[in-house]
Amino acid sequence: MRPPSALDRLGPEAPVPRDNGEPVFAEPWEATVFGLAVSLYEQGAIDWERFRRQLIAVIERAPGAPYYDSWSRALEATILEAGLLTVDQLDDRIGALRAG
């Protein structure tokens, strides 16, 4: 039996949009922020349960928000809580990603 993946650990409270079992992305940035979260988890940089709880909380605060907007906000909060980046560093990296 394989160990649970990051996606398995999200649980039913925060289902990832899927088609044929695979994650679905409407925009390239959604795949980027998704991959970043999974990569940070796989490297041991973030705790998946903490991220999952953040994602659920963000969705509960804004239930009508697009899913990956919530994902992104939860990841930002998790990165800050883990002390991986400061607010300014995070803002700089987000700006660089948006600039292309």
User: Which domains are assigned to the chain?
Assistant: 14-99 (1.10.472.20)
Q: Rounded mean pLDDT of 36-51?
A: 94
Q: What are phi and psi of 83, to 5 degrees?
A: 75, 20
Arithmetic mean of pLDDT over the chain: 86
In this prediction, residue 17 has a pLDDT band, given cuts at 50, 70 and 90, of confident
- Calculate the alpha carbon distances from 14 to 11, 55, 66, 85, 94 in Å: 6, 7, 12, 25, 24
Angle subtended at Cα 96 by Cα 38 and Cα 94, rounded to the nearest 5 degrees: 50
Q: Rounded mean pLDDT of 85-95?
A: 93
Token pair 């996606």 is found at 7
Helix (H, G, I), strand (E, B) or coil at 18: strand
Token pair 């990841």 is found at 75
Q: Rounded mean pLDDT of 28-50?
A: 93
> Which has more confidence, 88 or 15?
88
- pLDDT, one tens digit per residue, over 67-84 is 999 999 999 999 999 999
